[in-house]
């Protein structure tokens, strides 16, 4: 990706986009107004050809250099001294954008459980509003993994010729019953929390701990957990694996909330590019951009074959695979492999 920067310094800017226009949703509902919190790194060049738009996964935020610092940052593959990197917090998430704890302008009270159902297409439409607001006429690269990849596919269709490259990591054209089933067990865990149903920001907090523990089992591979959580001697209780999952549950519940988790997991379930289109294949054919899909050989949640399906059915598709025991989360961990894959992809352009 031979994009030259005209700026000596790297800047980070955080902004809040407020839309007074109603966002119509696929459910038939609407958000009378909405906000998107976003972060940008670097500056757009004169030709506006260096835009890299990142879409975060389920519990991510707009501070992409925090959670993807092996790929984005100074001297990394996407360096803000060369690229103009932008990431917006998805609607429904609790990191600055409109979410279930936001005030419902129709009632003057938080939405809580009245927050409308969102789909990946709704999310893409909201991002398109932000793009227009920022005056970004061309996106060089759109990149996202998991839920971010699902939203990215929907947005790639909307963007048409305004997008040059789409990089879709460990994701799908349609959520499988397997993914939906895992998400439902997590929501069942949240429902079992006696505080769920209360109009309180901490409602479902303990249930969210369990939900995250379930999710971690789907994000990792058995080999990875065995290697890292294996006991050094025989014991009857207090196993490393149990402590690890409880720790991960507490860690997430201290930074996220159950209402946002519920909303975004439902968003993931909704993902289906073929909805109101002829088929998945014909929907993928609508994407004008060069598409790189990256699967993970050990991913038990979003199978590598699902990434291959995308690359086979778009107009200009390439498939590459990460070799890792880390499972689904490998796209957030295996930076060296990913950087090599990306370099090869851009050299083909």
Residues known to be catalytic: 146, 299, 328
Burial of 15 (0-12, 13-18, 19+ CB in 10 A): middle
Helix, strand, coil proportions of the chain in percent (round to 5)?
A: 40, 20, 40
DSSP reduced 3-state for 31: strand
Interatomic CA distance for residues 95 and 89, integer angstroms: 6
What is the number of alpha carbons within 13 Å of residue 324 lying toward its C-beta? 27
Q: What is the DSSP pairing of strand 139-145 with strand 51-55?
A: parallel
Q: What is the DSSP pairing of strand 163-169 with strand 139-145?
A: parallel
Burial of 20 (0-12, 13-18, 19+ CB in 10 A): exposed
Residue with token string 């149990």: 242
Q: How far is C-alpha 255 from the geometric centre of its chain's CA atoms?
A: 17
Interatomic CA distance for residues 341 and 320, integer angstroms: 7
Q: Which two tokens stand for residue 86?
A: 């932008």
């Amino acid at each position: 990706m031979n994009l030259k920067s005209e700026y000596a310094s790297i800047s980070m800017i955080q902004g809040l986009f407020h839309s007074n226009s109603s966002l119509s949703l696929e459910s038939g509902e609407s958000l009378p107004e909405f906000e998107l919190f976003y972060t940008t790194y670097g500056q757009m060049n004169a030709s506006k050809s260096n835009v890299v738009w990142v879409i975060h996964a389920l519990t991510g935020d707009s501070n992409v250099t925090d959670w993807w610092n092996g790929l984005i940052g100074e001297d990394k593959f996407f360096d803000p001294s060369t690229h103009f990197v932008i990431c917006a917090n998805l609607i429904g998430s609790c990191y600055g954008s409109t979410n279930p704890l936001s005030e419902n302008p129709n009632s003057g009270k938080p939405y809580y459980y009245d927050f409308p159902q969102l789909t990946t297409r709704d999310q893409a439409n909201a991002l398109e509003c932000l793009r227009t607001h920022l005056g970004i006429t061309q996106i060089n690269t759109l990149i996202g993994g998991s839920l971010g990849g699902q939203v990215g596919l929907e947005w790639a269709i909307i963007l048409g010729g305004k997008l040059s490259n789409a990089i879709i990591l460990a994701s799908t054209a349609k959520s499988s019953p397997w993914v939906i089933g895992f998400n439902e067990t997590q929501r069942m865990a949240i429902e079992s929390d006696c505080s769920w149903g209360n109009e309180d920001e901490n409602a479902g907090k303990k249930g969210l701990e369990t939900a995250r523990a379930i999710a971690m089992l789907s994000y990792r591979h058995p080999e990875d957990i065995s290697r890292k959580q294996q006991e050094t001697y025989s014991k009857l209780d207090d196993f490393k694996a149990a402590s690890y999952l409880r720790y991960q549950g507490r860690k997430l519940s201290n930074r996220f909330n159950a209402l946002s988790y519920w909303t975004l997991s439902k968003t993931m379930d909704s993902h289906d590019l073929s909805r109101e289109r002829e088929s998945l294949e014909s929907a993928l054919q609508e994407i004008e951009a060069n598409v790189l899909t990256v699967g993970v050989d050990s991913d038990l949640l979003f199978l590598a074959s699902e990434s291959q399906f995308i690359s086979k059915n778009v107009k200009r598709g390439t498939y590459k695979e990460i070799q890792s025991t880390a499972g689904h989360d490998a796209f957030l961990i295996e930076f060296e492999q990913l950087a090599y894959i990306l370099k090869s992809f851009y050299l083909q352009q």
